[in-house]
Amino acid sequence: MLIFALLISLGLLGVNKIFPSFFPESHIFPLTGSFTLIAIAAMLVFFSGFAKNAENSVFLTLVSVSLKMLLSLVLALIYFLMFKNRETGSVILFFVLYLGFTLFVLFTFLNVLKKKSV
């Protein structure tokens, strides 16, 4: 997860060097860190379901996906409303990071679910 976050951050910095002022460079690391913590929390809930028993694994999978969505919603409210980041670049940066981390978490869940029967 941390390697993925580092690669995303470096990729966004690279895009920002190619297209200057596309999105605020100072927002890359705080947002990436926030999404990393949200994804780690969702993955901890997911993997705790497989460690304990198989009966609760389906329920905890749904809880982890819901937790990720709710924490991302809270982050969006804080980022857009409290800090007043309403520029186009800030919105694009937020949704690029949201999409990237959501795909990473979902592909991780799918790979684990393919290998282990529920």
* Res 45: pLDDT: 94
3-state DSSP call for residue 19? Answer: coil
CB-based contacts of 8-13 (< 8 A; 24+ apart in sequence): 8/32, 8/97, 8/100, 8/101, 12/93, 12/96, 12/97
Q: Please indicate, yes or no, if residue 19 is contained in any of the structural domains.
A: no
Judge whether 35 lies within some domain.
yes
* Confidence class for position 85, pLDDT limits 50, 70, 90: confident
d(CA 118, CA 108): 15
Domain that holds residue 51: 27-115
Amino acid at 118: V
Residue 74 belongs to some domain of the structure: yes
Whether 11 is covered by a domain: the verdict is no
Residue 10 lies in a domain: no
97 within a domain of the structure (yes/no): yes
Tokens of 57: 């694994």
The pTM assigned to this predicted structure is 0.91
For the residues 91-114, what does the mean pLDDT come to?
94
Place of tokens 């670049």: 89
pLDDT band at 118 (very low <50, low <70, confident <90, very high): low
CB 28 within 8 A of CB 12: yes
- pLDDT at residue number 33: 96
Domain count along the chain: 1
